[in-house]
Amino acid sequence: MLGDEVKKKLLEEKDILEQAGQKSESKAKPVIEQVMKEKEKVEEKKETDYLTLLHDARGYPLSSYNKLLANLLLARLKEVDFPRDWGYQVSPTDIGVVMEIYSPIGKIYRAAFKPTGEAKYDLNAINTYGIRAENTIDRITHQGQKSPHGENSNETR
């Protein structure tokens, strides 16, 4: 049985979805704008918290800093919609952070970065590697598939 708090949150989310999905754009627009503002606030707070963590960790040994970066990258990769049977692993090393993506056919895609020690650049690396993971998965899963615009064929637009 769901708790009262969970039920309340689900009903609120259902109400938001119904309002945002209605045919009247003028009624849906304020709801969508409010949801996006709240999402932006959450993302900004998360980024600020990560920057603070990284800034404070600069005084620690490099191995501890790299371990923190690996944990932040793992958190970022949890936001990626990995297809079924795909996997990933992130490992800190003495030099930096290594990300591995495992495809269902046994291929391993590996990328690594060496931290700069500057929080904003290292956080940017984490976000970039999350995007790289998404792009790698998209590229591999859509390889050989013809897109509606003919990018994978000899057709021209």
Q: What is the pLDDT of residues 25-84, one digit of tens each?
A: 676 677 677 777 887 888 888 888 888 888 888 888 888 999 999 999 999 999 888 888
- Please answer whether residues 90 and 74 qualify as being in contact, where contact means their C-beta atoms are separated by less than 8 angstroms: yes
SS3 of residue 3 by DSSP: coil
Ranges of beta strands (E only) in 22-133 are 87-92, 97-102, 108-113
CA 147 to chain centre: 24
Q: What is the CATH number of domain 62-144?
A: 3.30.160
Q: What is the DSSP string of 110-137?
A: EEEE---S-HHHHHHHHHHHHHHHHHHH
Considering the chain, tell me which residue range(s) the CATH 3.30.160 domain(s) occupy.
Answer: 62-144
Q: What is the pLDDT of residues 104-116, one digit of tens each?
A: 989 999 999 999 9
CA 30 to chain centre: 26
pTM of the model: 0.68
Number of C-beta neighbours around residue 82 at 10 A: 15
Per-residue tokens: 75: 């958190």
